[in-house]
Amino acid sequence: MSPIDLAFFVLAAVAVLAGWRVFATDSMVRASFLLLVSFIAVAGIMLLLAAPYIGVATIFMMAVEMMVMALFMVAFMMNPAGLNPMMMVHQDRLAKVAGLAAFVALTAAVILTDLPDRAVSADASVIHDLGIELLGPSMLPFESAGVTLLAAMIAAVVLSARSGRFGPSDEGSRPPGLVPGGDPAGRIPDDERSDKTESGHHDEHES
Amino acid sequence: MSLLTVLILAAALIGIGLYGALSQQSFVMLMMGFELMLNGVLLAVIGFWSLGTGGTPKGQLLAIVVMAVMAVEMAVGFALVTAVYRRRQVDTTEGLGTLKQ
């Protein structure tokens, strides 16, 4: 077994184990760092696969992203430090079956497919080629990705802003009733909820 | 390390991510599942590029597009978590009943 194979199998084991532990650990901060470990292992495999630019970019991007994730964990979630045992899952069996089925199906597809075998040559200048490609023939998709990121930034600001330009986005809105003039089917608007006396089955989580 | 083993590893990551995305109650943990799935996709793309196509630069471009998808998913996802928390004071999927009926 060559050193590259050995490194690949070690990194693959780290990636899968850390990825699995993400959903099995008590602490949410620890979960985000385990996800980071998984990403770094995958980035290491990319380095082995002769993709240094993508690999290093993945490491940087994921390091920042997981720090943001850890901050969100502390800000929003209970039990960020994992001091108490915690199991917050629903439809566990269905999810396990679905995950396993996805793995088995994709693996079967990979094994049954006649895979191409044209490795990138060892002396190829892949980063140089990528740069020429990005600012040459493929500039439109590359710039489109940039514009998409800009749109995502604007969307994130709009979504997370406390209010829209003309006040809260759902102020005064009332969903249509189930029967004409009747009670709305879903959520009762906030300003009406206080004088509703019904102990509805649909309203219990929202107060 | 062959294309076969790389793709099987990618399949394993996608399977774990799918389990996480379907089973977790907390929104942020759910997004970790999505991230793990996209991680597998990214690995598969790079595997195909490196071992299947002989290093066409367009393969790396596809990987960059996948990374942009990851970033968009993170940004919009966290903005949605913030918006939902602000309106409903909930941080788990069980806390939302509006679309239930």
For residue A7, being part of any structural domain is answered with: yes
Interface test with B, best of A28, A37, A72, A150 (most B CBs within 10 A): A72
CB-based contact (8 Å) between A203 and chain B? yes
**Quick one: A67 and A5 in the same domain?**
yes
**Quick one: A131 and A58 in the same domain?**
no
**Quick one: A9 and A77 in the same domain?**
yes
Instruction: State the count of interchain CB pairs (< 8 A) between A and B.
Output: 273
pLDDT given at position A12:
94
Does the pLDDT of residue A82 top 70, yes or no?
no
Query: Cβ–Cβ contacts within 10 Å for residue A76, how many?
Result: 17
**Quick one: A76 and A141 in the same domain?**
no
pLDDT given at position B17:
93
CB-based contact (8 Å) between B90 and chain A? yes
pLDDT given at position A109:
94
Does the pLDDT of residue B26 top 50, yes or no?
yes
- From chain B, the residues in CB contact with A61 under 8 A are 67, 70-71
For residue A69, being part of any structural domain is answered with: yes
- From chain A, the residues in CB contact with B87 under 8 A are 170
Q: Considering A51, A82, A113, which residue would you say is the last residue of a domain?
A: A82
Q: How far is CA A71 from the centre of its chain?
A: 15
Query: How close B31 gets to chain A, by Cα (Å)?
Result: 10
**Quick one: A72 and A1 in the same domain?**
yes
ipTM for the predicted complex:
0.89
Q: Considering A56, A82, A108, which residue would you say is the last residue of a domain?
A: A82
Does the pLDDT of residue B7 top 90, yes or no?
yes
Does the pLDDT of residue A97 top 80, yes or no?
yes
CB contact under 8 A, B96 and A205: yes
From B5, B55, B72, residue closest to A121, measured CB to CB: B55
Q: What is the pLDDT of residues A134-151, one digit of tens each?
A: 899 989 999 999 999 999
Of A69, A52, A77, give the one whose Cα is nearest residue B73.
A69
For residue A203, being part of any structural domain is answered with: no
Query: How close B13 gets to chain A, by Cα (Å)?
Result: 6
Among A123-127, A168-172, A176-180, the minimum mean pLDDT is found in A168-172
For residue A6, being part of any structural domain is answered with: yes
For residue A193, being part of any structural domain is answered with: no
Among A90-99, A164-173, B8-17, B23-32, the minimum mean pLDDT is found in A164-173
CB-based contact (8 Å) between B66 and chain A? no
Does the pLDDT of residue A66 top 70, yes or no?
yes
Q: What is the pLDDT of residues B55-101, one digit of tens each?
A: 788 888 899 999 999 999 988 988 888 888 777 777 777 777 666 55
Confidence category of residue A207, pLDDT binned at 50, 70, 90: very low
For residue A21, being part of any structural domain is answered with: yes
Query: How close A119 gets to chain B, by Cα (Å)?
Result: 4
The proportion of chain B whose per-residue pLDDT surpasses 70, expressed as a percent, equals 95
pLDDT given at position A85:
64
Among A3-12, B1-10, B36-45, B87-96, the minimum mean pLDDT is found in B87-96
Q: Which residue has the higher pLDDT, B42 or A68?
A: B42
Contact between A160 and B87 under an 8 Å Cβ cutoff? The reply is no
pLDDT given at position A125:
86
**Quick one: A58 and A133 in the same domain?**
no
pLDDT given at position A105:
95
The Cα-based distances of A78 to A28, A81, A98, A160 in angstroms read 9, 9, 28, 21
Domain of residue A143, residue span = 125-167
pLDDT given at position B78:
87
For residue A119, being part of any structural domain is answered with: no
| Residues B93, A21: Cα–Cα separation, whole Å | 21
CB contact under 8 A, B65 and A141: yes
pLDDT given at position B80:
86
CB-based contact (8 Å) between A28 and chain B? yes
Confidence category of residue A199, pLDDT binned at 50, 70, 90: very low
CB-based contact (8 Å) between A191 and chain B? no
**Quick one: A78 and A136 in the same domain?**
no
**Quick one: A75 and A138 in the same domain?**
no
> Per-residue pLDDT averaged across A156-160, rounded?
85
CB-based contact (8 Å) between B18 and chain A? yes
Query: Total structural domains in chain A?
Result: 2
Average pLDDT, chain A: 80
Domains contained in chain B, CATH given = 3-93 (1.10.287.3510)
**Quick one: A10 and A78 in the same domain?**
yes
Does the pLDDT of residue A196 top 50, yes or no?
no
**Quick one: A61 and A136 in the same domain?**
no
Interface test with B, best of A6, A33, A96, A107 (most B CBs within 10 A): A107
Mind giving me the DSSP string for A110-175? HHHS-----PPPTT--HHHHHHHHHTTTTHHHHHHHHHHHHHHHHHHHHHHSSSBTTB-TTTT--P
For residue A27, being part of any structural domain is answered with: yes
Q: Considering A82, A110, A135, which residue would you say is the last residue of a domain?
A: A82
pLDDT given at position A80:
56
Query: pTM of this prediction?
Result: 0.81
